[in-house]
């Protein structure tokens, strides 16, 4: 659609021409200030001596170098890498699997879909509370299994510094898989049936049809799913807070909790700002090309 | 909308397997909710002695009553009900204002295009994806300067600002497919900017309004980061209160009360989801794909 | 919930209980365009006091001040912000100050007081201090924090010490354990308890608690001079010394007497293990006493309190300071002076400590109104002040500024939660402290 501000007649013409922009202006101004202005401000702060309160003394890259030498930041980066990778892969694989299974003319599809997707409607704090209790060795799964007679069953990941991050992966995957499944399901339903029919007539086995014809056609869905999951992963904060609070020790710190703690309790505003800018940069590297291609291509 | 793999109806072994696998997943997905619910109806002794997966032997609503109006968060032992209403008083204005702004933006960006509209939209859209950590520090200052720090008013402002991106996206994509012929025809009849919007577009926007309201409602209700950063005490939303409640340790941990409080925090969004799951899904999808 | 939870890496405690802040109430008139002045201001005015004393004993202790002021016709507007050992409260304080609306007074710890003073905007309490001879009655190490560039900026409430062991007396008798006086005996007694099926050391695995126990071990391993050089002077060679490595190794040995579920446990739940005959000891500051009092237990009879073996000759302390914000209102200025005077008065100092588990910050009071543990503690604090072995606690922000403290937290809790060898830990901590300085 070629953009065409509908031309309008005489009298109110000028006003009518300005009105759309006037209506858009408040939102745009808000975002310019609260998003882009703030990005600039935070970036600037990351080069200053700010501690407890903002301090506009320029210190160059000092905060950045402190950030990269920080022990906890190292842990946070490692964790987000492990978490992000496992989260994206598990959600995508499980989501695709569930979508394919659901796409087999299942009788109770509606009900099952509702069940798979409901965690997405819950707050991570609620989910985290539930999982924390579920995985607590003294109360939850471990105790239950032992009571059921499996004496040696041990599942203490939540309080094990080396494994705690995986409990967060489990809860996060549980929360988001349904959503990814829904995306794939929509993708599957949009695939042209002709090629599949042809292949079936040729006697190709089902798995081959999926591997050769169907899944390759889902490429755009994969892309969207990965972008969405990656940006959710980098932003993940609530779930970590609710499940482990970053502990044991700092073993489940992620960049989002790192930033929060440096900003609000450690009084290291400069370092907090640097970590926030870093997070933004990573997300922007993912999102900007994605948005660009989405907006440029397609309709309009 | 046809399933990809047509054919075979008979209940072959493979199909039994298929149903079995799907059911196992359904059970896995439902278990945490089930455990939360049953735990919230048990007494503390039963929790410590009994099996996590068992139904309550003695059903009790005391944990729910406690969570609602008796549990201690810090020194105040008034339960979470005050925070529940805080959340409502944040959600309602935030959803209305951001929704209205989004509708106008979507309208302008599709039917009154100007040069650079794509850049403007791109800039608005990007705000959906930023890690909010980048705005926490300056926002804290601005809220302080505006004298709305630690108040629900402040949180309304925050949620409106960072909700505009999504609401604009929803309405823009919806109006994109609204026939231009109708718009033109109305214009020829002399309809101006607002008339056009309120008479022609808005009445047919019910589905997207529902999507937007549900999406914003869920997002704002479930928010934790802004709540925990910009509110304290009396003005905290339910998610923050829940986290405080769960992590308070005055003596014994009342897991049943914690679970009841978690359910209270979850109920509004769950109800919306169950009643309008279709629209919820649509919101999710347009948030990820261009829709 | 104690102000001691000076933890800021574990976000769970950080964002735990936030208390009802009547802040909304204070903002509401503004938004409604009503006059800010409250309708019913008592004759002598009203003070607004920001604090994070929200647990039973703490709130009771604060109530003493409130009623002291009420007796003088002064209104009290409490502004408690619970959670995160005051980190939440500090966040609220920052936003209040930034928006130009500071409270009358606020409770702060050690280096925070200095930070606020550096920024300017604090009232000086010099006149009251001179009248009451604060310079003579408060111990020097505390004065270092209560004074800034020669001016008094904070009124000290009390002195807490962090090198205490809390022991279950019944369990000791049952297992035939004598009160240990050396580190070796200390470990041996815990082994005895473990062999008998009890937990040797009730432990809460949160960064601030890790650091609290570690500073005990350090002090026991290297003595007061070592502690001072390492944690107060931040001397790099000392931080990398063999003694520091030994301290970490001793710490590792001690950690073996924890139970496996200690990770993330709150300190009061660990205290409850001692109370409920599950564990033999807990190493914790004297605020733990409040839990024993709540359980109706008597010192020396039901539980024992003694200095961590090997640290008998020194005291690591922390203390709450009340700072006041500068104001042009002469009535408020007078109120601030009155409040400072009330806090430093003998009656208040004793009543407050009796409620809170601490000992008076003034060194010139009779001890007979304190309980057995506090009497012992008060004597030791007085002796340590004389012998120059009263030293600020690292874990509670009285040894070094926040950045250093947090660097220590990071390494110590990484050590606790992994199998990091002692030499690596010492090296990492020295590096982290260098960076943070």
**CATH code assigned at A151:** 1.10.3720.10
Q: Which helix (H) or strand (E) element contains residue A189?
A: helix A164-189
3-state secondary structure labels for all residues of B128-194: CCCCCHHHHHHHHHHHHHCCCCCCHHHHHHHHHHHHHHHHHHHHHHHHHCCCHHHHHHHHHCCCCHH
Calpha distance A92→A60 (Å, rounded): 41
Calpha distance C21→C25 (Å, rounded): 8
On whether residue A31 sits in a domain, the answer given is: no
Task: Please tell me whether residues C297 and C428 are part of one structural domain.
Answer: yes
On whether residue C297 sits in a domain, the answer given is: yes
- Burial of C30 by CB count in 10 Å (0-12 exposed, 13-18 middle, 19+ buried)? middle
CB contact under 8 A, B148 and C98: no
Chain C interface disruption, residue of B80, B139, B149, most C CBs within 10 A = B149
pLDDT confidence band for B71 (50 / 70 / 90): confident
On whether residue A299 sits in a domain, the answer given is: no
Q: How far A78 CA lies from chain B's nearest CA (Å)?
A: 18
A177 contacts C301 by C-beta, under 8 angstroms? no
Q: Please write the tens of the pLDDT for every residue from A167-189.
A: 999 999 999 999 999 999 988 98
Pick C410's closest partner by Cβ from A161, A250, A260. A250
* CA-based nearest residue to C12, from B131, A166, A253, A113: A253
Would you state the pLDDT for residue B287? Answer: 61
Mean pLDDT value of segment C98-127: 87
Would you state the pLDDT for residue B84? Answer: 96
Residue pairs spanning A and B at CB distance below 8 A: 312
Which CATH number do you get for residue C168? Answer: 3.40.190.10
Chain C interface disruption, residue of B71, B137, B158, B247, most C CBs within 10 A = B247
Would you state the pLDDT for residue C83? Answer: 59
CB atoms < 10 A from the CB of C17, how many?
29
DSSP-derived secondary structure letter, B203:
G
Structural domains counted in chain C: 2
Calpha distance A99→B22 (Å, rounded): 10
pLDDT confidence band for B164 (50 / 70 / 90): very high
Mean pLDDT value of segment A204-233: 89
Name the domain boundary from C387, C402, C427.
C387
Q: How far is CA A164 from the centre of its chain?
A: 19
Mean pLDDT value of segment B191-216: 91
Which residue ranges make up each domain of chain B? Answer: 13-60, 81-288
Task: Please tell me whether residues C90 and C126 are part of one structural domain.
Answer: yes
Calpha distance B221→B243 (Å, rounded): 14
C146 contacts C155 by C-beta, under 8 angstroms? yes
Tell me the percentage of chain A whose pLDDT exceeds 70.
Answer: 94
Q: How far B4 CA lies from chain A's nearest CA (Å)?
A: 7
On whether residue A28 sits in a domain, the answer given is: no
On whether residue A106 sits in a domain, the answer given is: yes
Residues of C in contact with B232 (CB under 8 A): 18-19, 21, 23, 81, 88, 91-92
Residues of B in contact with A238 (CB under 8 A): 224-225, 239
For residue A129, what is the nearest residue in chain C, using CA coordinates?
C12
Q: Tell which A residues from 107 to 166 touch B, by Cβ distance under 8 Å.
A: 112, 114-127, 129-134, 139-141, 143-144, 147-148
Calpha distance C132→C137 (Å, rounded): 9
Would you state the pLDDT for residue C195? Answer: 96
Task: Please tell me whether residues C131 and C209 are part of one structural domain.
Answer: no
Calpha distance A248→A261 (Å, rounded): 15
- Residue C230 lies in domain: 164-316+390-436
Residues of A in contact with C402 (CB under 8 A): 266-268
CB contact under 8 A, C403 and A268: yes
CB contact under 8 A, A265 and C410: no
Structural domains counted in chain A: 1
Touching subunits of A (3+ CB pairs, under 8 Å) are B, C
Calpha distance B28→B184 (Å, rounded): 53
Calpha distance A247→C14 (Å, rounded): 12
Q: Tokens 């004393």, residue?
A: C53
On the question of pLDDT at B29 being above 80, the answer is yes
C30 contacts B147 by C-beta, under 8 angstroms? yes
CB contact under 8 A, C24 and B244: no
Calpha distance C86→C69 (Å, rounded): 24
Chain A interface disruption, residue of C93, C261, C264, C266, most A CBs within 10 A = C264
Residue pairs spanning A and C at CB distance below 8 A: 111
Chain A interface disruption, residue of B9, B29, B229, most A CBs within 10 A = B29
Task: Please tell me whether residues C259 and C145 are part of one structural domain.
Answer: no
Residues of C in contact with B245 (CB under 8 A): 17
- The answer, yes or no, to whether the previous bond of A300 is cis (omega within 30 of 0) is no
For residue B99, what is the nearest residue in chain A, using CA coordinates?
A27
Q: How far is CA B274 from the centre of its chain?
A: 13
Touching subunits of C (3+ CB pairs, under 8 Å) are A, B
B240 touches chain C (CB under 8 A): yes
A47 contacts A60 by C-beta, under 8 angstroms? yes
Pick B125's closest partner by Cβ from A101, A206, A291. A291
Residues of C in contact with B48 (CB under 8 A): none
Q: How far A37 CA lies from chain C's nearest CA (Å)?
A: 19
On the question of pLDDT at B21 being above 70, the answer is yes
Mean pLDDT value of segment C283-307: 91
On the question of pLDDT at C86 being above 80, the answer is no
Q: Tell which B residues from 62 to 91 touch C, by Cβ distance under 8 Å.
A: 73-76
- Residue A171 lies in domain: 70-266
3-state secondary structure labels for all residues of chain C: CCCCCCCCCCHHHHCCCCCCCCHHHHHHHHHCCCCCCCCCCCCCCEEEEEECCCCHHHHHHHHHHHHHHHHCCCEEEEEECCCHHHHHHHHHHHHHHHCCCCCCEEEEEHHHHHHHHHHCCECCCHHHHHHHCHHHHCCHHHHHHHEECCEECEEECEEEECCEEEEEHHHHHHHCCCCCCCHHHHHHHHHHHHHCCCEEECCCECHHHHHHHHHHHHHHHHHHHHHHHHHHCCCHHHHCCHHHHHHHHHHHHHHCCCCCCCECCCHHHHHHHHHCCCEEEEECCHHHHHHHHHCCCCECCCEEEEECCCCCCCEEEECEEEEEECCCCHHHHHHHHHHHHHHHCHHHHHHHHHHHCCEECCCCCCCCCCCHHHHHHHHHHHHHHHHCCEEECCCCCCCCCHHHHHHHHHHHHHHHCCCCCHHHHHHHHHHHHHHHC
Long-range contacts of A205-211 (CB under 8 A, 24+ apart): A206/B5, A209/B5, A210/A100
Touching subunits of B (3+ CB pairs, under 8 Å) are A, C
On whether residue C59 sits in a domain, the answer given is: yes
Q: How far A140 CA lies from chain B's nearest CA (Å)?
A: 6
Sign of the torsion formed by the C-alpha atoms of C368, C373, C374 and C378: positive
Lowest mean pLDDT among A10-14, B19-23, B97-101, C280-284: A10-14
Sign of the torsion formed by the C-alpha atoms of B9, B12, B14 and B20: positive
Mean pLDDT value of segment B37-61: 88
On whether residue A198 sits in a domain, the answer given is: yes
On the question of pLDDT at B213 being above 50, the answer is yes
* C-alpha dist (Å) from residue B277 to A187, B204, B222, B272, B282: 18, 20, 17, 7, 9
Calpha distance B79→B92 (Å, rounded): 22
Most confident of A36-40, A143-147, A176-180, B132-136: A36-40
Q: Considering only residues A245 and B21, tell me which one the structure prediction assigns the higher pLDDT.
A: B21
Task: Please tell me whether residues C249 and C207 are part of one structural domain.
Answer: yes
CB contact under 8 A, B30 and A291: no
Chain C interface disruption, residue of A265, A270, A275, most C CBs within 10 A = A265
On whether residue A13 sits in a domain, the answer given is: no
| Domain covering B81-288 assigned CATH 3.40.50.720 in the classification | no
Q: Tokens 């809460």, residue?
A: C204
Chain B interface disruption, residue of A46, A73, A129, most B CBs within 10 A = A129
Contacts of C239 (CB under 8 A, 6+ apart): C230, C426, C429, C430, C433
CB contact under 8 A, C92 and B228: no
Task: Please tell me whether residues C242 and C298 are part of one structural domain.
Answer: yes
The encoded tokens of residue A65 equal 């170098």
Residues of B in contact with A269 (CB under 8 A): 137
Residues of C in contact with B140 (CB under 8 A): 95
Q: Please write the tens of the pLDDT for every residue from C379-423.
A: 999 999 999 999 999 999 899 988 899 899 999 999 999 999 999
On whether residue A249 sits in a domain, the answer given is: yes
Q: How far A35 CA lies from chain B's nearest CA (Å)?
A: 7
On whether residue A295 sits in a domain, the answer given is: no
C165 phi, psi to nearest 5 deg: -110, 135
Calpha distance B204→A20 (Å, rounded): 20
Give me the interface pTM, i.e. the ipTM: 0.87
Residues of B in contact with C83 (CB under 8 A): 74, 244
Tell me the percentage of chain B whose pLDDT exceeds 70.
Answer: 91
Calpha distance B52→B148 (Å, rounded): 44
Q: Please write the tens of the pLDDT for every residue from C227-237.
A: 999 999 999 99
Would you state the pLDDT for residue C433? Answer: 93
Pick A126's closest partner by Cβ from B127, B262, B273. B262
Calpha distance A171→B31 (Å, rounded): 12
Residues of A in contact with B2 (CB under 8 A): 189, 193
Mean pLDDT value of segment B163-181: 91
Q: Tokens 């909790």, residue?
A: A257
Task: Please tell me whether residues C301 and C420 are part of one structural domain.
Answer: yes
Helix axes B81-111, B206-222, angle to 10 degrees: 140
Chain A interface disruption, residue of C7, C10, C122, C433, most A CBs within 10 A = C10
CB contact under 8 A, C91 and A265: yes
Pick A245's closest partner by Cβ from C11, C87, C91. C11
Residue pairs spanning B and C at CB distance below 8 A: 107
C12 touches chain B (CB under 8 A): yes
Task: Please tell me whether residues C223 and C277 are part of one structural domain.
Answer: yes
Residues of A in contact with C17 (CB under 8 A): none
**Which value, in Å, is the radius of gyration of the alpha carbons in chain A?**
25
C282 phi, psi to nearest 5 deg: -140, 135
Would you state the pLDDT for residue A57? Answer: 92
On whether residue C6 sits in a domain, the answer given is: no
Would you state the pLDDT for residue B250? Answer: 59
Q: Tell which C residues from 247 to 306 touch B, by Cβ distance under 8 Å.
A: 266, 268-269, 272
A22 touches chain B (CB under 8 A): no
Helices (H), ranges, chain B: 13-40, 44-49, 62-69, 81-111, 117-126, 133-145, 152-176, 180-188, 193-195, 206-222, 225-230, 238-247, 255-275, 277-288
Would you state the pLDDT for residue C141? Answer: 94
Calpha distance C137→C133 (Å, rounded): 7
CB contact under 8 A, A200 and B289: no
Would you state the pLDDT for residue C53? Answer: 78
The encoded tokens of residue A161 equal 């510094």
Would you state the pLDDT for residue C8? Answer: 37
Q: Please write the tens of the pLDDT for every residue from A77-104.
A: 999 999 999 999 999 999 999 999 999 8
Would you state the pLDDT for residue A133? Answer: 85
């Amino acid at each position: 659609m070629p953009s065409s501000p509908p031309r309008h007649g005489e009298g109110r013409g000028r006003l009518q021409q300005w009105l759309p922009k006037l209506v858009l202006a408040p939102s745009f101004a808000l975002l310019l200030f609260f998003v882009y202005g703030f990005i600039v401000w935070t970036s600037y702060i990351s080069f200053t001596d700010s501690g407890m309160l903002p301090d506009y003394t320029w210190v160059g890259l000092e905060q950045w170098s402190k950030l990269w030498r920080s022990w906890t930041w190292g842990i946070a980066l490692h964790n987000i890498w492990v978490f992000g990778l496992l989260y994206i892969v598990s959600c995508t694989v499980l989501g695709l699997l569930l979508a394919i299974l659901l796409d087999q003319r299942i009788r109770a599809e509606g009900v099952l879909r509702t069940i798979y997707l409901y965690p997405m409607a819950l707050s991570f704090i609620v989910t985290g509370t539930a999982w924390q209790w579920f995985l607590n060795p003294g109360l939850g799964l471990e105790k239950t299994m032992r009571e059921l007679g499996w004496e040696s069953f041990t599942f203490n990941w939540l309080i094990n510094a080396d494994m705690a991050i995986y409990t967060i992966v489990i809860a996060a995957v549980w929360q988001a898989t349904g959503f990814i499944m829904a995306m794939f399901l929509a993708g599957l339903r949009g695939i042209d049936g002709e090629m599949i029919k042809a292949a079936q007539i040729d006697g190709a086995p089902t798995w081959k049809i999926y591997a050769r014809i169907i899944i390759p056609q889902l490429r755009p869905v994969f892309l969207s799913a990965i972008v969405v999951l990656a940006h959710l992963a980098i932003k993940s904060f609530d779930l970590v807070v609710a499940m482990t609070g970053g502990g044991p020790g700092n073993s489940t710190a992620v960049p989002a909790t790192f930033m929060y703690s440096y900003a609000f309790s450690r009084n290291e505003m400069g370092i907090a700002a640097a970590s926030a800018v870093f997070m933004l940069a990573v997300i922007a590297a993912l999102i900007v090309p994605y948005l660009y291609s989405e907006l440029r291509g397609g309709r309009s | 909308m046809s399933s990809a793999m047509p054919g075979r109806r008979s209940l072959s072994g493979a199909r039994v397997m298929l149903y079995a696998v799907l059911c196992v997943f359904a059970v896995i997905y439902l278990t945490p909710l089930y455990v939360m619910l049953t735990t919230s109806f048990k007494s503390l002794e039963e929790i410590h002695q009994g099996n996590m997966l068992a139904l309550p032997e003695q059903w009790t609503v005391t944990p729910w009553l406690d969570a609602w109006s008796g549990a201690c968060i810090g020194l105040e032992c008034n339960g979470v009900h005050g925070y529940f209403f805080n959340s409502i008083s944040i959600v309602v204005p935030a959803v209305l204002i951001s929704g209205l702004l989004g509708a106008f933006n979507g309208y302008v960006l599709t039917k009154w295009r100007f040069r650079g509209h794509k850049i403007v939209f791109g800039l608005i859209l990007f705000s959906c994806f930023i890690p909010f950590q980048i705005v926490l520090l300056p926002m804290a200052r601005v809220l302080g300067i505006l004298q709305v720090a630690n108040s629900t008013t402040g949180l309304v402002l925050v949620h409106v600002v960072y909700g505009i991106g999504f609401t604009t996206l929803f309405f823009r994509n919806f109006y994109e497919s609204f026939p231009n012929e109708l718009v033109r025809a109305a214009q020829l009849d002399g309809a101006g900017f607002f008339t056009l919007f309120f008479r022609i577009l808005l009445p047919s926007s019910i589905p997207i309004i529902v999507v937007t309201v549900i999406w914003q409602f869920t997002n704002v209700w479930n928010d934790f980061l802004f709540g925990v950063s910009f509110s304290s005490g009396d003005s905290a939303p339910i998610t923050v209160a829940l986290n405080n409640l769960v992590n308070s340790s005055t003596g014994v941990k009342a897991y049943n009360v914690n679970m009841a409080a978690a359910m209270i925090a979850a109920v509004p969004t769950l109800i919306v989801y169950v009643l309008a799951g279709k629209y919820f899904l649509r919101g999710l999808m347009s948030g990820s794909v261009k829709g | 919930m104690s102000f001691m939870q000076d933890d800021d890496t574990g976000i769970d405690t950080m964002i735990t209980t936030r208390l009802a802040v009547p802040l909304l109430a204070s903002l509401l008139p503004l938004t409604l365009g009503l006059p800010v002045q409250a309708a019913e201001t008592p004759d002598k005015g009203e003070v607004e006091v920001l604090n994070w004393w929200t647990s039973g004993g703490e709130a009771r202790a604060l109530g003493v001040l409130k009623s002291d002021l009420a007796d003088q016709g002064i209104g009290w507007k409490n502004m408690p912000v619970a959670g995160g050992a005051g980190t939440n409260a500090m966040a609220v304080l920052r936003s209040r100050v930034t928006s130009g609306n500071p409270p009358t007074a606020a409770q702060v710890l050690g280096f925070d007081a200095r930070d606020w003073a550096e920024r300017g905007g604090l009232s000086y309490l010099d006149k009251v201090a001179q009248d009451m001879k604060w310079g003579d009655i408060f111990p020097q190490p505390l004065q270092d924090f209560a004074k800034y560039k020669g001016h008094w900026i904070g009124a000290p409430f009390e002195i807490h010490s962090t090198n205490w062991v809390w022991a279950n007396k019944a369990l000791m008798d049952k297992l035939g354990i004598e009160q240990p006086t050396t580190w070796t005996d200390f470990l041996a007694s815990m082994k005895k308890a473990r062999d008998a099926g009890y937990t040797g050391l009730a432990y809460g695995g949160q960064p601030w608690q890790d650091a609290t126990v570690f500073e005990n071990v350090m002090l026991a391993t290297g003595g007061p001079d070592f502690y001072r050089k390492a944690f107060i002077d931040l001397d790099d060679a000392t931080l990398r010394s063999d003694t520091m490595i030994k301290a970490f190794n001793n710490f590792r040995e001690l950690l073996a007497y924890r139970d496996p579920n200690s990770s993330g446990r709150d300190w009061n739940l660990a205290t409850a293990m001692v109370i409920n005959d599950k564990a033999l000891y807990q190493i914790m500051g004297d605020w733990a006493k409040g839990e024993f009092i709540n359980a109706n237990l008597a010192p020396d009879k039901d539980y024992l309190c003694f200095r961590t073996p090997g640290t008998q000759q020194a005291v690591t302390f922390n203390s709450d300071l009340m700072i006041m914000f500068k104001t042009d209102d002469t009535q408020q200025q007078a109120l601030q002076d009155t409040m400072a005077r009330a806090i430093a008065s003998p009656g208040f100092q004793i009543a407050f400590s009796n409620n809170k588990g601490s000992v008076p910050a003034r060194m010139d009071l009779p001890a007979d109104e304190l309980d057995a543990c506090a009497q012992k503690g008060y004597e030791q604090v007085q002796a340590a002040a004389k012998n120059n072995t009263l030293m600020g606690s690292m874990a509670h922000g009285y040894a070094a500024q926040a950045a250093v403290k947090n660097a220590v937290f990071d390494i110590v809790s990484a050590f606790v939660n992994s199998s990091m060898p002692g030499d690596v830990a010492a090296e990492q901590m020295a590096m982290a402290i260098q960076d943070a300085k």
